[in-house]
């Protein structure tokens, strides 16, 4: 919680051995989420599709780590 908390969560993906590309995309989503939440920024459908594909890719890895 607090400033930098979400950056730490994204950085933790490196410790979990996610690729640098995956970590950077997660960080980009964090940045855009803040823009949406605090400044009313809107994103296009193409970016939303990229987020969905990323989620489909990363979810099984995270689920496996939990089990």
Average pLDDT, the chain: 89
Pair 58, 18: CB distance under 8 Å: yes
Task: Please tell me the predicted confidence (pLDDT) of residue 4.
Answer: 63
**Integer Rg of the chain from CA:** 13
Task: Please tell me the predicted confidence (pLDDT) of residue 15.
Answer: 93
54 class by beta-carbon count within 10 Å (0-12 exposed, 13-18 middle, 19+ buried): middle
Closest listed residue to residue 58, CA positions, set 8, 24, 35 = 24
Task: Please tell me the predicted confidence (pLDDT) of residue 14.
Answer: 93
Which of the residues in the chain have pLDDT under 50? none
Task: Please tell me the predicted confidence (pLDDT) of residue 2.
Answer: 58
Residue 67 DSSP one-character state: -
């Amino acid at each position: 919680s607090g400033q930098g908390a979400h950056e730490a969560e994204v950085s933790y993906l490196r410790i979990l051995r996610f690729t640098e590309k995956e970590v950077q995309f997660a960080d980009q989503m964090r940045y855009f989420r803040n823009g949406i939440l605090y400044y009313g920024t809107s994103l296009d459908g193409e970016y939303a599709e990229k987020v969905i594909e990323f989620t489909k890719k990363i979810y099984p890895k995270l689920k496996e780590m939990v089990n």
